[in-house]
């Protein structure tokens, strides 16, 4: 058995310039700042503006920054996995487009879709290519232009989502740091509560699907909220029990940024003080596949080599999981 671990050796992110505030949303839909903040914790979110711009453009910016920061040549990258719920198009894969836009020419590329768990699942998948010895430089990029599938007349969902991208570089490590373990789960029972009904093979695009607004996100908030809290808290506790870890052993919990109430409930149920939980939902909203790398990017200067992190996410499907990481930078 190999003793190689996959370590995160670099992280970078990209957020669009345009800031959509709660005050602006008040002019678009029947809502207000107090209502949004009290129920979600969100004060503003970033929106990708401009003709012809898509998830791959944000992903490419995150990857360019990652390569520059780590001094990595595009030709060195052997695998690119793009975690996304909003691909540029059905095909080619968004990972393929990101590789093209960043000069990555020697890589195997594919997309991985698991809603808001996409980045978590992608990191766990990319790690296996490193651990097997097959590849030495793997890029995982989470990129979502959620504004492209949000109905800005639906106050239940339009307040939640923003656009962003984040990327990490995975490389082999033999110093004991890296991705230590992953617990990944899914259950199709959640399909009826969180979905985008049209646009796939079940309901191809038509005048009828567009008129019925079936290309937008639908979310039944209450069951999703309950499942998210139960799912993320259970896998965090399972991970800690499996490895004999206490809250004192963990430097940071890195949760998917879906709703501040969910994050607070997960922290409480897993017995973590909020001071050790990364939270930036107030600035970016729910950026789906980008939330976890966006947190790592913002907290990078506070992380020390050897720090124990637990990443956790929950998404439509349902999909959920947790990864234990020993920070390697």
- Catalytic residue among 256, 259, 295, 308, which? 256
d(CA 294, CA 66): 12
Residue 326 contacts residue 308 (beta carbons within 8 Å): yes
DSSP code of residue 286:
B
d(CA 44, CA 23): 9
**Phi, psi (rounded to 5 degrees) for 123:** -65, -45
Catalytic annotation present for 116: yes
CA distances from 268 to 21, 84, 263, 272, 278 (A): 29, 29, 9, 6, 14
Residue 304 contacts residue 298 (beta carbons within 8 Å): no
Beta pairing class for 319-326 and 308-315: antiparallel
d(CA 319, CA 313): 8
Catalytic annotation present for 256: yes
Q: What is the DSSP string of 84-146?
A: -SS-SSSSS-HHHHHHHHTT--S-EEEEE-BTBTHHHHHHHHHHHHHHTTS-S-EEEEEEEEG
Catalytic annotation present for 215: no
Residue 9 contacts residue 136 (beta carbons within 8 Å): no
Q: What is the DSSP string of 225-253?
A: HHHHHHHHHHHHHHHHHHHT--GGG-SEE
Residue 114: partners with Cβ closer than 8 Å, 6 or more residues away: 83, 120, 121, 186, 315, 317, 319
- Catalytic residue among 82, 286, 295, 308, which? 286
Residue 189 contacts residue 79 (beta carbons within 8 Å): no
| Helical packing angle, 33-40 and 260-269, nearest 10° | 20
- Catalytic residue among 22, 82, 96, 116, which? 116
Which amino acids are annotated catalytic? 116, 256, 286
């Amino acid at each position: 058995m190999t003793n190689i671990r996959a370590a995160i050796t670099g992280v970078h992110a990209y957020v669009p310039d345009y800031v959509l505030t709660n005050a602006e949303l008040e002019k678009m839909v029947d809502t207000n700042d107090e209502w949004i903040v009290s129920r979600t914790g969100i004060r503003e979110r970033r929106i990708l503006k401009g003709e012809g711009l898509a998830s791959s453009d944000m992903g490419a910016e995150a990857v360019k920054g990652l390569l520059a920061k780590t001094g990595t040549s595009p030709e060195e990258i052997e695998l690119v996995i793009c975690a996304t719920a909003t691909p540029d198009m059905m095909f080619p894969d968004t990972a393929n487009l990101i590789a093209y836009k960043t000069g990555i020419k020697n890589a195997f590329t594919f997309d991985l879709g698991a809603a808001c768990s996409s980045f978590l699942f992608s990191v766990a998948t990319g790690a296996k290519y490193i651990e097997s010895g097959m590849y030495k430089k793997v890029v995982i990029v989470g990129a979502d232009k959620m504004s492209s599938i949000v109905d800005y007349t639906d106050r239940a969902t339009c307040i939640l989502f923003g656009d962003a991208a984040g990327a990490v570089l995975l490389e082999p490590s033999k110093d004991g740091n890296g991705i230590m373990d992953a617990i990944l789960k899914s259950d199709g029972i959640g399909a009826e509560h969180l979905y985008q009904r049209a646009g796939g093979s079940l309901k191809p695009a038509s005048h009828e699907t567009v008129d019925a607004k079936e290309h937008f996100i639908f979310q039944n908030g209450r069951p999703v909220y309950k499942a998210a809290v139960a799912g993320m808290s259970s896998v965090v506790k399972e991970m800690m029990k499996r490895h004999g870890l206490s809250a004192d052993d963990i430097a940071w919990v890195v949760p998917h940024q879906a709703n501040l109430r969910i994050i607070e409930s997960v922290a409480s149920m897993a017995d973590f003080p909020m001071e050790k939980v990364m939270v930036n939902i107030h600035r970016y909203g729910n950026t789906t596949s980008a939330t976890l790398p966006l947190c790592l990017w913002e907290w990078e200067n506070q992380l020390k080599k050897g720090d124990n992190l637990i990443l956790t996410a929950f998404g439509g499907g349902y999909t959920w999981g947790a990864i234990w990481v020993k920070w390697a930078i």
